[in-house]
């Protein structure tokens, strides 16, 4: 599964919770988390693993943070090979977390069985995705952080994206993207 979305959408937190649920169901889970690299120093924080403390201690989970090292598209130059290595290593679920991306960084969509776009419920101009790009590539749009005071905005953005998705050309004859 490829997971993408804007910075602050809760990608790492979602993966922590989802990954724990999968390992409790006896799956072996691999997480390939991609962090942006500095254009000045070339360094990267590789901080996604710190947001997955429980999952990182789980014996049925493997988390590998990697820097983009200047690669565009939200992934690294070797993400596809890393997916194959994890599958070969016996991990039956591989989650690829992209850098916090914009509308044209969706290279992971061609590497995975399902591409999930996580969106926060109150991110400003909610229909930015309708400009085409990343929203066209999504197999599933998940509105994250939909609790408390954000329930109403989450339902509103869900309705907006359901309507917007009807306007997009379908990529598959058998699957209709869900929101």
Residues 91 and 44 in one domain: yes
* Residue 72 structural domain: 1-112
Q: Within this chain, do residues 147 and 93 fall inside the same structural domain, yes or no?
A: no
Q: Kindly state whether residues 98 and 16 are assigned to the same domain.
A: yes
Q: How many domains does the chain have?
A: 2
Alpha-helix residue ranges (DSSP H) falling in the chain: 11-24, 53-56, 79-88, 134-137, 151-165
Q: In what helix (H) or strand (E) does residue 29 lie, and over which residues does it extend?
A: strand 29-35
CA distance 148 to 73: 33
pTM of the prediction?
0.85
4-16 tens-digit pLDDT: 988 888 999 999 9
Q: Does the CA dihedral 126-157-104-99 come out positive or negative?
A: positive
| Residues 7 and 20 grouped into a single domain | yes
Look at residue 46 and tell me whether its pLDDT is greater than 80: no
Distance CA 76, CA 152 (A): 36
55, 80, 112 — which closes off a domain?
112
| CATH code assigned at 85 | 3.40.50.300
């Amino acid at each position: 599964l490829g997971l993408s979305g804007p910075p602050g959408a809760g990608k790492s937190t979602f993966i922590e919770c989802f990954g724990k649920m999968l390992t409790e169901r006896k799956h072996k889970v691999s997480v390939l988390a991609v962090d942006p690299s500095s254009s000045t120093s070339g360094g990267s924080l590789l901080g996604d693993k710190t947001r997955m403390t429980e999952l990182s201690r789980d014996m049925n989970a493997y988390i590998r943070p990697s820097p983009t090292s200047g690669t565009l598209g939200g992934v690294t130059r070797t993400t596809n090979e890393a997916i194959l290595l994890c599958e070969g290593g016996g991990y039956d679920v591989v989650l690829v977390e992209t850098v916090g991306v914009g509308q044209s960084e969706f290279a992971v969509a061609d590497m995975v069985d399902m591409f999930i776009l996580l969106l926060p419920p109150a991110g400003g101009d909610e229909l930015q995705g309708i400009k085409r790009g990343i929203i066209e590539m999504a197999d599933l749009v998940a509105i994250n952080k939909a609790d408390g005071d954000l329930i109403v905005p989450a339902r509103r953005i869900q309705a907006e994206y359901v309507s917007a998705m009807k306007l997009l050309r379908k990529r598959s004859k058998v699957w209709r993207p869900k929101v």
